[in-house]
Structure 1
Amino acid sequence: MSLFDDDFYSASRTFGGSRWKIDGRRIYGRTATRHFDIRTIAAVVAIASGVALLVGWTLGLRSAGSVLSTEERIVRAVERVMPAVVSVVSSVTGGGASEGPSFAIGVGSGVVFEKAGGRARIITNQHVVQNASKVEVVLDDGTRQPATVLGGDVFTDLAVLETDGKNVRRVAEFGDSRNLRPGETAIAVGSPLGLGLSQSITIGVISGPQRRIPVSLDADGRYDWEMDVIQTDAAINVGNSGGALANLDGKVIGINSMKIAETGVEGLGFALPIHQVLPVVEELVRHGKVLRPKIGIRAVELDVYENRSALGLPESVREGLVVIGEVEEPAASAGLKAGDVIVELDGRPVGSMLELRQYLYGRKKIGDKLEITFYRNGKKETVTIRLGEY
């Protein structure tokens, strides 16, 4: 079992010019000065002790009231965000569209982010709907209705759904996940353990506002990507994937996505920060995918390649990526072939898929040139390609 257990995922990753609006209020204070006539001083002194007693008693009431107001803020926050959280049911059919009934393969959660033209759009996790032939959503009032997948992205684990907006009562409001502090209240809303416990909430705190964790996109136990997340101790359970992590104002600050599932480990849940989620959602709505640069190869790390001796590599070559399978464009036009061992990108050593993706997606754009250094039959070669679209 890997550190970040995939069994969690279901029950069976300035906004200038975009549509988004997040917190950004300034509060200005104002002071007033009052001048007393000297004749009032004696009266002020005379009642000073009484005022002190009154102030002390009043502060006591305010202190007691502050506890109640915190509880009330939680209740109001839940009332504000809960109608915007739905359950997401993914199913597969027994065969073709007309070959037998559908079988549910997972239940997750989703957050309504937009309602227009009679339609509602929902954020969820990609793994909740991946490989599903049928997707339905269950609204906060129990209405169950079909949904379509507009787009998804495995690297950020995000997907966008669209459904009939007639019975959707609330669209989520978004908070600012860029300036979270450890200890702030966090409210997780979703459908843990399936539809029987839909619209459940758990309360905790922000344990770590900015974490980066390794993930295995291929679920093979080898970490080949990293994700920026918010760490919380609010209980996140099976089926919470795609649900809301909200603040005390009932505004969504993250999309619940994963937890550490190991014996003896509790209170380690992770949500995708909303300021990183929204630009991805924008692309998924517009293109159905996130546009990224593409080399056009599949590769495995040299240290796990089973037939290293056949590559004819010099003894000094310890790390690299072995090209496997069919080579696609633009790598094919550059002459790359299966069995080539890539060791550098733009003169920078590369030894893992994680390093390749970090450089490619973090520093390059579609259409950029990329210099690839590789070994073929023991000979070192270099080619330059113009990156395509993934």
Structure 2
Amino acid sequence: MSLFDDDFYSTRVSRKVRSSERDGKSFSFGRPRSDGGWSNVRIALTSSLVSALAAVTVFGLTVGFDGGSSHRATPTVAAVQTGDPLERTIQAAEKVRPAVVSIINEQSLSSMRGGAAGSEGSDDEHSGLEEAALGSGVIFQKEKGKAYIITNNHVVEDAIAVKAVLSNGEIREASVVGLDAITDLAVLEIDAKGIDVVAEVGDSNGLRAGQWVMAIGNPLGLSDSLTMGIVSKTHRIIPISLGQDGVYDWEQEVVQIDASINQGNSGGPLIDLNGKVVGINSMKVADFGVEGVGFAIPSNYAMPIVESLMEFGKVKRPYLGVYSMDLEQYWAQQASRKGADDAEDSELDEEDWLEDDGAEGDGTELPPIELDLPKDVREGVIVLEAVGPAKDAGLMFNDVIVKLDKQTIGSTMELRKYLYAKKQIGDEIEVTLYRDGEKQTLHLTLGEKEEE
């Protein structure tokens, strides 16, 4: 016997048909009720039908009806699924690849090997030249029969001749329009005949971490190569050594990516999936156990430099006129001297630490550095030689600069960053320094370095 008397609540299903009213085309299932109400099965069937109608109504309101048409309204998700997302990478690459070139840096055999150059009287003006470096570049502008290429400064540095290899394999002579070692950017010029594709420069400020990007270039001499990865970080500051002497004297703003950047990729474009150049591939971390750490100069940072190179052949920056050494390095040298047995081996070599803000040295041998400073002065910039504006203002050997205007200066890097970011050619600047243990202040007018 069921726990409930009413069969509607019971788990037991009645198998016996109680009555049939065929003449009225109606059927009665289950136990007849004296009050003329519906049977349990009819109630269940009706409930199921109502639920089905409700579901159809809700679906119709959500997706939409088309007035009886055999074609229903397509949901948004279905529209997205109709395209191939991988096709975007192919289209982006096809858009830029014809504008990407390989760069060949040629130097004299004598400078590379220490031997004699080509034979005198040779009819071939490049007979004494040899390929010294390979890199990449991207054509970004065409004007008055000339095509202009962005690349890295280190790709064409010290070149006697530069060649650009187009995507179709044609080799053309290139001339250097301008170079900038600090930002590691350069602009080249070639004949524009037959060049139809120019890369479009995009907005690097719109990059986001995790966004897909592609690097195009000439890695290991394998021209017209693509690598793909994501943006690891949109804004990274990397310390670099401009003199390649292990002393960090500048900081470069870069985009960090995990797309493969190999030797020869330098100067090539970093593009987004719209086929726009958002960076110039510049460097990678090359160390044991390190993979997928590459860097590109952001396009928004690079283009003002490129425009200056196009107009002036250089980047005009304010010029103080000092060769310098960081005071911190001096203290480190002094500490090492105390523990050395041989005074000659530990003697400070100023040339090993010589840095400048664009000044030119005259090759004069410098006297030993002997500083008289308060004990609490541990950071600053030692003047090893003053020329130009600094010399005119009275700066001298062994002066220790500690402030520019009211900004504390602890290193040559900070001195450069303040000058280049905060000052202009012709601006007045206040220099706070220590000389013979006494604090002094000088004023000078920043100049512009004349090219050699």
TM-score with structure 2 length normalisation? Answer: 0.71
Distance 1:46 1:284 in 2: 65
Residues 75-101 of structure 1 show CA distances to partners (whole Å, capped at 9, x for unaligned) of 111000001110011011135797652
Distance 2:119 2:175 in 1: 18
Consecutive unaligned residues of structure 2, counting only runs of 5 or more, are 1-55, 111-116, 121-126, 334-347, 349-367
Distance verdict in 2 for CA 1:309–1:120, change over 3 Å: closer
Distance verdict in 2 for CA 1:46–1:213, change over 3 Å: closer
**Which structure exhibits the higher relative contact order, with contacts defined as CA atoms closer than 8 Å and separated by 6 or more residues?**
1
Which of these residues, 313, 326, 332, is aligned with residue 373 of structure 2?
313
Distance 1:218 1:145 in 2: 31
Partner of 1:341: 400
Work out whether residues 204 and 232 of structure 1, in 8 Å CA contact, stay in contact via their aligned partners in 2: yes
2:167 is the counterpart of 1:140:
yes
Consecutive unaligned residues of structure 1, counting only runs of 5 or more, are 1-43
Work out whether residues 143 and 167 of structure 1, in 8 Å CA contact, stay in contact via their aligned partners in 2: no
Q: Which deviates more from structure 2 when the two are superposed, residues 313-322 or residues 154-163?
A: 313-322
Partner of 2:32: none
Distance 1:361 1:322 in 2: 19
Distance 1:332 1:267 in 2: 47
2:300 is the counterpart of 1:275:
yes
2:315 is the counterpart of 1:290:
yes
Which of these residues, 402, 412, 425, is aligned with residue 353 of structure 1?
412
Partner of 1:330: 389
Work out whether residues 164 and 171 of structure 2, in 8 Å CA contact, stay in contact via their aligned partners in 1: yes
Partner of 1:32: none
SS of residue in 2 equivalent to 1:238: coil
Distance verdict in 2 for CA 1:47–1:295, change over 3 Å: closer
The one-letter amino acid of 1:231's match is: Q
Distance 1:97 1:82 in 2: 36
Identity %: 47
Work out whether residues 109 and 124 of structure 1, in 8 Å CA contact, stay in contact via their aligned partners in 2: yes
Distance 2:395 2:59 in 1: 91
Partner of 1:385: 444
Work out whether residues 174 and 188 of structure 2, in 8 Å CA contact, stay in contact via their aligned partners in 1: yes
Distance 1:85 1:244 in 2: 8
Partner of 1:31: none
Which of these residues, 194, 207, 210, is aligned with residue 180 of structure 1?
207
SS of residue in 2 equivalent to 1:276: helix
Aligned residues: 344
Partner of 1:219: 244
Distance 1:46 1:267 in 2: 50
Shift of 1:169: 2.9
Partner of 1:252: 277
2:424 is the counterpart of 1:365:
yes
Residues 209-252 of structure 1 show CA distances to partners (whole Å, capped at 9, x for unaligned) of 12222111121222211111111111111111000100111111
2:247 is the counterpart of 1:232:
no
Distance 1:389 1:229 in 2: 27
* Higher CA-based Rg: 2
Partner of 1:102: 129
Distance 2:94 2:262 in 1: 21
Shift of 1:330: 0.6
Residues 122-144 of structure 1 show CA distances to partners (whole Å, capped at 9, x for unaligned) of 00001111111111100011011
Partner of 1:78: 93
Residues 274-326 of structure 1 show CA distances to partners (whole Å, capped at 9, x for unaligned) of 1111111110011111111110111011122355871222323211111124x
Distance 2:283 2:96 in 1: 20
Distance verdict in 2 for CA 1:383–1:97, change over 3 Å: farther
SS of residue in 2 equivalent to 1:183: coil
Partner of 1:203: 228
Distance 2:384 2:149 in 1: 37
**C-alpha RMSD of the superposition:** 2.7
